Amino acid sequence: MRQYRDKEMFTINFNEQTLPVIEQISEGMPGGFFIYHADGDEELVYINSAMLRIFGCDTPEEFKELTGYTFRGIVHPEDFDRVEESIKTQIAHGGDHLDYVEYRIVRKDGTVRWVEDYGHFVHTRDYGDLFYVFIEDATERMQKRMAELERVNEALYSEHLREDYLKRALLYDAVSFVEINLTRDEFISASVLNAEGEVQNLFTFMGMQPFEKYSDFAAFWADFTETGELEEYHRFFDIERMIRCYEKGEREQTYDSWVTDMYGRKRLSHYAFFLEKNEHTGDVIALSVSRDITEQVERQSLLKSALRQAETERLARKTFFANMSHDIRTPLNAIIGYAELLKGCVGDPGKVGECIEKINHSGEELLAVFNEFLKDNLNEPSRAELAEREYHLGELLKEVEKGAERPIRAKNIKFNLDRAGLSHFTVEVDYIRLREILNQLLDNAVKYTPARGRVSLTVRESESDRKGWAMYRFTISDTGCGIPEDRLESIFQPAGQEKNAVYNGMPGAGLAVVRSYVEVMGGDITVESTVGEGSTFTVNLPIKYPGRSSFMEQEGETFGPSGNTVEKSCILLVEDNGINREIEEELLKNLGYRVKAACDGVSAYELLKDSEPGTYALVLMDIEMPGMNGYETARAIRRLENEALSRIPIIALSSDAMEEDRRKSLKAGMNEHFSKPIDIEGLQALIHKILEDTEYECE
């Protein structure tokens, strides 16, 4: 309630005769004007028509219903106590008896507006103590003022976050962060980032008494330095030398040294000193950051080794393909030449036979070149480079998690390691390469995920088609900046990364080596990403159990139950290429088999589905076919309701000759994989072996 001291000083004659005069004056005002009692319920005595406009009312009756015709009813309920207290304080400390307040009102339509209120107290003989008040809608001015305050607050908060971020950035992977007055040989501050990601006093963290002199602190750590490096250690940390470096303009000093840490481990520490001068005192000041770079150096060494190996392999590959070109073109030239000669030998059986024999010989020579290429230059070297030994995956995952612990805590990232999908932890694997794959991917995820983001490493184990092996899937997900779609296909390409080592926050170096390691280990790596939402890298690796069989031994169900040997069996040949189909059909007939040919997977499926068991003893299945390929056709056959038909032996007959192609065929449910061009004797032996174990007979 508004109350003024020395009320009698403001006594005026205010009665009913004065109201018309007040009304005449106030109605011409552009703003609102009202009078109310300074005591009791603070009931209103008078309002001008501008008050109706401000409150959105059409009549005085609407205004009375909205406000109760009291000063309390005018003010927003949440602002009233603050307004009354402000008026009281202003009056207590003011000499002009004029108060000013800002508050909100609620209009008839429910909208909230801000008003400015100028009030003055009067004492009247007829009406007692009154206040007359001028108000004006100040919503737009208040919104501008509050927007400016919000901008200032946001700037201050951003500056606070920036300062905190800079501290954390400096402490990222740091052993210590120290400020030193070199001139006075004393500490200004000494900090570390503890396991909880908080800045902590260095000496408290280490559980030791603080050093007063920095030179004593440096001498203390000399006892933990390798003997052969002591001379250089003392030279580098000499305070007088640091001051001379500053005077010569050498403001940044760095030094790497092998030390023994508090846990007794040999670690490589990197020291960086940044030298400045205190402009007020003239003292030389040093900011010193020390970091443990042991793993970083090991990684760099491994990467350099991989790059040297890649360069060696590139030169070897270049030489190989030059030789390969010669070896291929020589028999190919003979095949083309003798085929041309064959055209002119019609009617001379001897010449025809000679040309055919030489074409066949050259074809076998060409096939041998390709087989040598596939065997010796794609599979074997990659496998030979692996150093597979028995390790425990749990320990490896702990090591990877520990390696990322500091940056995760520094950025307050929520990290989750999920290994619930593992049932076998002891495996035979190239530990170094697997650790580097996970380290690199996890390091990227953490580095390019903002503070308080999320990163996860999930490991799953599933059955493999190799006996004694399993397929392990490692998934690293983050909520970072993501990778543009046009970069996803080239993110693992070394050539693209040389042009742009960092693109949109994504690293260039390292991912090419990661993919190289994954492929050497017989696996694959994929990435899914959305800009602004994050990325997911998935690595699938075949990993062997200790003491189990090699990957050539296949695990799982064998199709084709045992039974009687069938002679002159009926074979269902599935081949979409007309020339190949004709050649293969004739070759099989020459061996004594009866053949039914299908031109695609759909036709083959329908023929088999509608046949009686025993109509066909075996299926020779091409892979690359339109409509339904060989893998899909084999799976469809295995799902037939008639078990006798669903278990018919299937041999993949394909131009795809890699071990991975064989695995795909077996995984699709086929019994064997035979590569083209056809070695008819080898195919006959394989068919004979399979038919010895079948119960089907040809009608």
Are residue 474 and residue 535 in the same domain, yes or no? yes
pLDDT at 416: 94
> Pairing relation of β-strands 570-574 and 650-654?
unpaired
pTM over 0.95: no
What are the tens digits of pLDDT across the range 186-226?
988 888 777 676 778 888 887 888 888 888 888 887 887 77
Are residue 200 and residue 109 in the same domain, yes or no? no
CATH number of the domain bearing residue 414? 3.30.565.10
- Report the range of poorest mean pLDDT among 336-340, 404-408, 613-617, 642-646: 336-340
Are residue 501 and residue 439 in the same domain, yes or no? yes
Does pLDDT of 337 surpass 80? no
Are residue 576 and residue 631 in the same domain, yes or no? yes
How many other CB atoms sit within 10 Å of the CB of residue 441? 25
Per the domain annotation, does 245 fall within a domain? yes
What are the tens digits of pLDDT across the range 220-274?
878 877 777 888 888 999 999 999 999 998 888 888 888 776 666 777 888 888 8
Per the domain annotation, does 143 fall within a domain? no
The mean pLDDT of 439-451, rounded to a whole number, is: 90
The mean pLDDT of 332-349, rounded to a whole number, is: 68
pLDDT at 72: 92
- Report the range of poorest mean pLDDT among 302-306, 324-328, 517-521: 324-328
Average pLDDT in the chain: 78
Contact 565, 698 (CB under 8 A): no
Element (H, E) at 399: helix 393-403
Per the domain annotation, does 165 fall within a domain? no
Per the domain annotation, does 273 fall within a domain? yes
Does pLDDT of 584 surpass 90? no
Which parts of 601-671 are beta strand (E)?
618-621, 650-654
Are residue 257 and residue 195 in the same domain, yes or no? yes
The mean pLDDT of 409-434, rounded to a whole number, is: 88
Are residue 370 and residue 258 in the same domain, yes or no? no
CATH number of the domain bearing residue 373? 1.10.287.130
pLDDT at 327: 58
- Residue 113 bridge partners (DSSP): 105
What are the tens digits of pLDDT across the range 375-398?
545 444 444 356 677 778 988 898
| 30: its two tokens | 């552009």
> Domain end: 361, 384, 407, which one?
384
What are the tens digits of pLDDT across the range 496-506?
443 333 333 44
Are residue 396 and residue 254 in the same domain, yes or no? no
What are the tens digits of pLDDT across the range 98-124?
788 899 999 999 999 999 999 887 777
Does pLDDT of 599 surpass 50? yes
Are residue 90 and residue 182 in the same domain, yes or no? no
Are residue 491 and residue 439 in the same domain, yes or no? yes
CATH number of the domain bearing residue 43? 3.30.450.20
pLDDT at 553: 33
> Pairing relation of β-strands 650-654 and 672-675?
parallel
Element (H, E) at 406: helix 405-410
Q: What percentage of the chain exceeds 70 in pLDDT?
A: 76
Per the domain annotation, does 521 fall within a domain? yes
Are residue 93 and residue 75 in the same domain, yes or no? yes
CATH number of the domain bearing residue 645? 3.40.50.2300
pLDDT at 170: 55
Per the domain annotation, does 150 fall within a domain? no
pLDDT at 660: 78
Does pLDDT of 64 surpass 90? yes
Per the domain annotation, does 552 fall within a domain? no
375 vs 543: which has the higher pLDDT: 543
> Domain end: 111, 137, 163, which one?
137
Helix 431-447 vs helix 511-520: angle between axes, to the nearest 10 degrees? 150
Are residue 245 and residue 123 in the same domain, yes or no? no
Whole domain around residue 393: which residue ranges?
Answer: 389-544
pLDDT at 382: 40
- Report the range of poorest mean pLDDT among 31-45, 49-63, 550-564, 644-658: 550-564
Task: Look at residues 256, 286, 285 and name the one whose alpha carbon lies nearest to residue 271.
Answer: 256
Are residue 417 and residue 439 in the same domain, yes or no? yes
pLDDT at 561: 36
Contact 518, 471 (CB under 8 A): no
Total domains, the chain: 5
pLDDT at 286: 85
Does pLDDT of 533 surpass 80? yes
Per the domain annotation, does 565 fall within a domain? no
For residue 557, what pLDDT band results from cuts at 50, 70 and 90?
Answer: very low
> Domain end: 273, 292, 311, which one?
292
